[in-house]
Amino acid sequence: MEYFLNSEGSVVVRDIINEIRSNRDYLGEIDGAIGDGDHGINMNKGFSMAGERINQSHSFSEAAKTLGNVLMMEIGGSMGPLYGTLFKRFFRETKDHDRITAEIVLKMLESALDGVKEIGGADVGDKTMIDTLAPAVSAMRAATISHCSFRDALMKSLEAGREGRDSTKDMVARIGRSARLGERSRGVLDAGAVSCCIIMESMTESIPAILRND
Ligand code: ADP
Ligand code: MG
């Protein structure tokens, strides 16, 4: 059975933080096209603040909890509660497990998707982060059911997430700030769909590097 040790997993969260920080300007540019341009700044601020409180001695679950709490409590914009919920769900679904398998990652992603949908009210097609997350979760589920390796399941999930991210380009925003633009929101990617894909990309790199098999 393939798994990573929860106790060794804070690197997964620390890598996500670094990737979001490196993409601050890019996320700002994308949000600037149809939003208010603050997505990069919001994300960078929240993820950096959490990064200062997370170190190697933390588990994956503890790191996800810290990140979720900081985003939820201390950051403005839509992304605080949305990504706060996502990482708090990562914590909730993993905290009782020493070994994190593909099945547990699937549960964690399913729960995160449900949580973000519950608090944001968005669904597939509204031009939000959900357009990345939902297909990524479905592909992870399909891969897990067909007993793909952990790495392949993550890769398939990422592929679907990337397609979902790209699909936001032709959508008209139906929720959030950019919805006010109506038809004019068509033709550019959604910032949250892009940041969500960066998170998936980072996990797909980091998790295989710490996998064990016994
Ligand atoms: P704000 O919209 O307050 O400026 P950000 O720029 O940080 O906040 O985040 C914008 C992103 O948040 C959007 O690109 C979209 O993906 C996501 N988003 C906004 N509202 C929702 C919602 N209700 N559900 C899911 N995602 C949302
Ligand atoms: Mg914004």
118-173, pLDDT tens digit by residue? 999 999 999 999 999 999 999 999 999 999 999 999 999 999 999 999 999 999 99
DSSP-based three-state secondary structure for 9: coil
Q: What's the pLDDT tens digit per position in 15-58?
A: 999 999 999 999 999 999 999 999 999 999 999 999 999 999 99
Q: Amino acid identity of 159?
A: E
Taking residue 104's Cβ as centre, other Cβ atoms within 10 Å add up to 17
**Residue of higher predicted confidence among 197 and 77:** 197
pLDDT of residue 76: 75
- Stated pTM of the model: 0.98
Sequence-ordered list of residues with C-beta below 8 angstroms from that of 146, at least 6 positions apart, any chain: none
For ligand 2, the distance from its centroid to the CA atom of residue 175, given in whole angstroms, is 12
> What are the distances in angstroms from CA 20 to CA 2, 88, 192?
27, 18, 12
For ligand 1, the distance from its centroid to the CA atom of residue 50, given in whole angstroms, is 20
pLDDT of residue 77: 81
pLDDT confidence of 75, banded at 50, 70, 90?
A: confident
Pairing of strands 212-213, 99-100: unpaired
pLDDT of residue 63: 98
Ligand 1 pocket test: pick from 36, 124, 128 the residue with the most ligand atoms within 8 Å of its Cβ. Answer: 128
- Check if CATH label 1.10.8.50 holds for domain 2-213: no
Residues with CB under 6 A from ligand 1: 31, 35-36, 38-39, 42, 77-79, 82, 116, 120-122, 128-130, 175-177, 190-193
For ligand 2, the distance from its centroid to the CA atom of residue 35, given in whole angstroms, is 5
Q: Which two tokens stand for residue 192?
A: 């949250």
Closest CA to 2 of 204, 151, 139, 156: 151
pLDDT of residue 186: 96
